[in-house]
Amino acid sequence: MGKYRLLALDLDGTLLNDRQEISDTNKEWIRKATEAGVTVIASTGRGFPTALPIVEQLGLDTPMITVNGGEVWTKPHSLHRRITLATDMIMKLHMLAERHPVAWFWAYATDGIYNKEQWVDDTYSRTWLKFGYYDEDTSVIAKLWEELLTWEGLELSNSSPQNIEVNAKGVSKAAAIEEVCRMIGCEMSEAVAVGDSLNDLAAIRAAGLGVAMGNAQDAVKAEADVVTGTNNEHGVAQVIQNYILKA
């Protein structure tokens, strides 16, 4: 066993290329990492239902981190921990979205995704995990971000410069990776976190090796220990080759 025992991979913009595919090269090197005893996990802003098919493609039966750390799974279909976003806050976030009608919005509940086109009749009948805003006009996103910063009890991040992702305070991929480390019996110094967006930043700071993709936002690259290739250049495979199996 090398220096690193856990590899936490973001999905969109990291493991997946721009066609939303896992390259054969990435698949091959993930297999080599698992055969070497490294625990490879998904660490994503996606909800469990949309993250699961990607994990299944890789044949992984390892822990999963979904909705930016709001859920930690011992393995697929086995929930370990869930941190929810209060329904009153969801209603407040929804009202903010309605004050900016050009912006798209969505929210993850435990029973599915609701959005601008299909919202719920009874908000209190569901258990909520995350709320998000999207707009091609980044000035709209900047205005929303500025207002949300004045609210208490929230963790703000993004998965692209055109969106905002809102979780309950304290929810992050970093906190979730720490929990997975406890579960498998390793230290954060033995973890590698790879990502491209602000929802990866806390994990990249906290992990033993924080890796930004070549296509990552500049703020993420600035704080990463290393920068790998882009998501279209098998950047994940490069991390495994250059840092994990060589460590």
Which residues are annotated as catalytic?
A: 10
Q: What is the dihedral of CA 43, 168, 197, 234, to 10 degrees?
A: 10
How far is Cα 148 from Cα 35, in angstroms, rounded to an integer? 44
Residue with tokens 């469990």: 48
Closest CA to 58 of 110, 7, 2, 3: 7
Nearest to 139 by CA among 107, 161, 165: 161
d(CA 66, CA 169): 16
What's the start-to-end Cα distance of the chain, in Å?
Answer: 9
Q: Which of 10, 124, 121 is nearest to 64 (CA)?
A: 10
Calculate the alpha carbon distances from 245 to 34, 39, 67, 118, 193 in Å. Answer: 10, 13, 29, 46, 15
**Is beta strand 154-157 parallel, antiparallel or unpaired with respect to 191-195?**
unpaired
